[in-house]
Each structure stands twice: as C-alpha cells, then as structure tokens.
C-alpha cells in the first residue's frame, strides 16, 4: 500500500510542480496584458445584459455598465417579462443612465435557456450599425475601462472573440460563500495565452457582429442552454482564436448558502459535461486522483503513526501537493491584485480563502463531477432544464 501511495504522491507532486510553473507563466502573461495600451479602436458597440431577479448589488452592477469610458456604445438590458422582480431596478437604471440604454422584454423561452432566449430576442431587434456585440451578466461589476479594453483587440479582424473571467468577492463570511469564491478561482487560470484552448465566458465576451452572423451563432443558440459554450464551440469549429484578457477581470460580489453553492457548482460542471465532454472527463480524473491521493496519504500516515513507526516521509508526501496548490493560489491572488488595483486591500484581506480553503476545493469539484455523472438536470434562476445534448434542451418546470 505504501508503494502505491508513493507512486500516486509522486505523480501529484510532479503535476503540482508543472502547474506552479504554468501559474508563473500565467502571471507573466497577465502582467504583459495589463501593461498593454488598448489603442484608439472604438467600434460602435452593443452591450447586452440579460437580467433575472434581484441579486446583491444589482443596481450598482447595472449602473457600472452605463459608466464605461468607451465613447461609442449603447446598453441593452433584457428580461423575460415585465413581471420580473428586477424590472423596476432595470428601468430606473436605464432612465438615469448617461449612455443610451434600452430595456427589452424577450418573452418566455421555448426549447432553450432563458438567458439564451433573452440574448436571441435582443439581437434580433438590434438596429443596424453596431459593429461589436458584448455579452455581460447582471451579477458583475466591471471597471470604467473594461469595455474599451475588451473590444480593443477586435481591431484585428482575424480574432474570433475576446473574453475575460469573474473574480468573486464574498459579501458574507459564511462557509458556503467562502467556498464559492475559492471554487471559482481556479477557473481563471484555465484561460491564458493559448488562444486555441480558451473558451468564452458569458459575463464578459466581445465579438464582431459580422463574425457572429457569419458563423450562425444565433441559430446555434436556438436549442441551447449555454450561451458561452455555444459561442466557444462555433469559434473553435471555425478555427477562430479566442483571446483572454486578464486586464478585464470582472468583480462579482456574492453571498450564498449551501443549497445555492451546490446548485451553482453542480450546474457549471454538468453544463461542461454536456458541451465539452473531453474537458469534463479530463478534469474529473485529475480532481478525483488528487482527492484519492490526499485521503490515502492521511489514512496511511495515521495508520503508521498509531503503529509507532516514523511518519515524516508519508506526512511530507501528503502535505507537498497541498503546499503546491497553496502556491498556485498565491500566484493567482497576486495577479488579481495587480489587475484590480482599486480592490487590492480587500483582495489581500481575503487571500487566506484561496490559500487555506482553496487547497481543499478539489474535493468539492469531485462532488460536482460525481453529481454530474448521474443526472442531466439543472436548476438555473428558478427554471429546471434537462440537457440532453448541446442542441437539445428541455424545460421541465419552475
């Protein structure tokens, strides 16, 4: 048994060392991107923000979308119906905006996700003349230069899309909220300099309207529940690069309970299983092997300790993968502090979340993967869906 653990621990340590090296390279890329001048490209841009329900800081989040220093854009807030709880806030923000803001009611979805239906309805009503489409979420709070930086690389017509990622800041110090922030953080370093491996994130993606239309993304969305995975699949199929912009990181202030934590995390992993099965299988195996190795190491260390034998070697081999995970978390936090300088002190104060809780997050991921292996049902903003395939979404209730 000890030889088997030695083999597994060695694999985890080697993998951990490689991932630390990759994290250092990622930090270097983030710093280079952060120092990049976005230039003067200022296309006429439509910012599309689907909304549903009232969430923490909603009015401030939506107001931030009306305050970009990009000179040539309009904002489109989209809800399913006027009876939505967020409708009053959305209308108030739109009426007070210094930019031209619109409120669109999309109607109930049929055979696709409500968010996707909202986006489809808005784009079908969009006037001519908009060169770039930007997709964002109502739970994010981007900075003033976000839109200008997100659209700037599209001056190169060879780019398929630009994208970024969220960074969660807990509003509460309860365990589910802290775990959610720690769970989300590793996703950030899945994106990077390799444009072929990047994926679009629905809370911050920019794409030329001509590319969107030529690649038939509106039709791709017709029976989809995932706006961003569908865009990613379409662009990858066409061989068009997706450029990740860490300088456009989007802050999202969150609070949740255990039920909300599991609903969100299980949903994300199940969507990955349906839309990117190879990625799902690879990450499932990676997280499961890490968890098995750590549990195995703790068990053996305790067994040897109670047998009165030396445990230093076993304890070190069990601890080292966790230490390497903490180092990766520290590198991630360092990059985020530099990308979000106005929030540096708050991110520093919460860095322990990613150094202490973060090393145990693979166990939560393993739980998510196991749950996604036995069901194809998700709940998203009060609507239940059955995901039969990327092009077969069934609404099964509310």
Q: Are 285 and 244 found together in one domain?
A: no
Write the CB contacts of 36 (distance below 8 Å, at least 6 apart in sequence): 247
Question: Where does a domain end: 225, 248, 272?
Answer: 272
List the chain pLDDT tens, one digit each, 398 residues: 888 999 999 999 999 999 999 999 999 999 999 999 998 899 999 999 999 999 889 999 999 999 999 989 999 999 999 999 999 999 999 999 989 999 999 999 998 999 999 999 999 999 999 999 999 999 999 999 999 999 999 999 999 999 999 999 999 999 999 999 999 999 999 999 999 899 999 999 999 999 999 999 999 999 999 999 999 999 999 999 999 999 999 999 999 999 999 999 999 999 999 999 999 999 999 999 999 999 999 999 999 888 888 889 999 999 999 999 999 999 999 999 999 999 999 999 999 999 999 999 999 999 999 999 999 999 998 899 999 999 999 999 77
d(CA 78, CA 125) in angstroms, rounded, equals: 11
Residues 185 and 234 in one domain: yes
DSSP assignment letter at 139:
T
> CA dihedral in degrees (364, 368, 371, 372; nearest 10)?
-170
Q: Is 328 helix (H, G, I), strand (E, B) or coil?
A: helix
Look at residues 247, 272, 297 and tell me which one is the last residue of a structural domain: 272
Asked whether residue 56 falls in the same domain as residue 15, the answer is no
Q: How far is CA 238 from CA 214, 231, 276, 333, in A?
A: 10, 11, 16, 34
- Name the residue range of residue 289's domain: 2-26+277-397
Mark whether 316 and 211 lie in a shared domain: no
Same-domain check for residues 22 and 46: no
Co-location of 150 and 170 in the same domain: yes
Residue 31, in any domain of the structure: no
Same domain, 125 and 162: yes
Q: Which residue stretches of 126-257 are H helix? A: 146-151, 175-188, 209-214, 217-220, 227-238
Q: How many domains does the chain have?
A: 2
Asked if 158 and 182 sit in the same domain, the reply is yes
Distance CA 55, CA 253 (A): 10
The CA distance from 392 to 225, in Å, is 9
> Measuring CA to CA, which residue among 237, 241, 273 is closest to residue 368?
273
What local confidence, expressed as pLDDT, does residue 246 receive?
Answer: 97
Residue at 171 is within a domain:
yes
Is 190 found in the same domain as 229?
A: yes
Residue 388 falls within a domain, yes or no? Answer: yes
CA torsion, ordered 81, 84, 89, 95, to nearest 10 deg:
10
Burial 229-239 (b: 16+ CB within 10 A, else e): bbbbbbbbeee
Residue 226: CB atoms within 10 Å: 26
Whether 223 is in a domain gets the answer: yes
Instruction: Dig out the tokens for 115 from the structure.
Output: 């968010």
- Termini Cα distance of the chain: 49
Domain boundary among 272, 289, 318: 272
* Residues 318, 243 share a domain: no
84 domain-assigned: yes
Whether 194 is in a domain gets the answer: yes
Letter string b/e over residues 374-393, b meaning 16 or more CB atoms within 10 A of that residue's CB: eeeebebeebebebeebeeb
94 and 231 together in one domain: yes
- Please report whether residue 198 resides in a domain: yes
Contacts 24+ apart (CB under 8 A), 373-377: 373/273, 373/284, 375/270, 376/270, 376/274
| Distance separating alpha carbons of residues 133 and 151, to the nearest angstrom | 9
Return the CATH number at 119: 3.90.550.10
Residues in the chain, total: 398
- Regarding whether 129 and 45 lie in a shared domain, the answer is yes
Q: Is residue 32 part of a domain?
A: no
């Amino acid at each position: 048994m000890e030889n088997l653990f030695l083999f597994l621990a060695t694999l985890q340590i080697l993998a951990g060392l490689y991932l630390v090296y990759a994290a250092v390279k990622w930090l270097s890329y983030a710093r280079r991107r952060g120092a990049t001048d976005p230039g003067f490209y200022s296309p006429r841009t439509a910012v599309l923000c689907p909304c549903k329900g009232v969430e923490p800081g909603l009015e401030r989040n939506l107001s931030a979308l009306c305050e970009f220093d990009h000179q040539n854009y309009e904002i489109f807030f989209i809800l399913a119906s006027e009876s939505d709880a967020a409708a009053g806030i959305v209308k108030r923000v739109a009426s007070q905006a210094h930019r031209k803001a619109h409120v669109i009611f999309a109607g109930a979805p049929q055979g696709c996700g409500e968010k996707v239906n909202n986006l489809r309805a808005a784009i079908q009503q969009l006037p001519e003349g908009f060169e770039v489409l930007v997709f964002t979420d109502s739970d994010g709070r981007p900075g003033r230069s976000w839109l200008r930086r997100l659209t700037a690389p599209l001056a190169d017509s060879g780019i398929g899309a630009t994208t970024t990622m969220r960074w969660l800041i807990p509003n509460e110090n309860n365990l589910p909220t802290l775990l959610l922030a720690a769970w989300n953080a590793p996703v950030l370093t899945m994106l990077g300099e390799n444009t072929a491996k990047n994926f679009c994130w629905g809370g911050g993606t920019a794409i030329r309207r001509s590319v969107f239309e030529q690649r038939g993304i509106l039709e791709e969305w017709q029976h989809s529940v995932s706006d961003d995975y569908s865009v990613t699949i379409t662009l990858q199929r066409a061989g068009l690069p997706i450029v990740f912009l860490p300088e456009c990181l989007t802050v999202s202030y969150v609070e949740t309970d255990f039920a909300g934590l599991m609903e969100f995390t299980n949903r994300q992993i199940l969507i990955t299983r349906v839309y990117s099965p190879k990625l799902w299988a690879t990450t499932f195996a990676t997280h499961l092997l890490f968890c098995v190795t750590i549990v195995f190491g703790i068990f053996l260390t305790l067994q040897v300790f109670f047998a009165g034998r030396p445990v230093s070697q076993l304890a070190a081999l069990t601890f080292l993968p966790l230490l390497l995970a903490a180092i990766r978390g520290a590198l991630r936090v360092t990059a985020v502090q530099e990308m979000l300088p106005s929030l540096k002190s708050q991110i520093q104060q919460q860095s322990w979340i990613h150094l202490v809780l973060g090393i145990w997050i693979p166990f939560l991921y393993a739980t998510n993967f196991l749950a996604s292996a036995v069901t194809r049902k998700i709940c998203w903003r009060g609507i239940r869906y059955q995901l039969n395939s990327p092009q077969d979404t069934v609404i099964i209730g509310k």
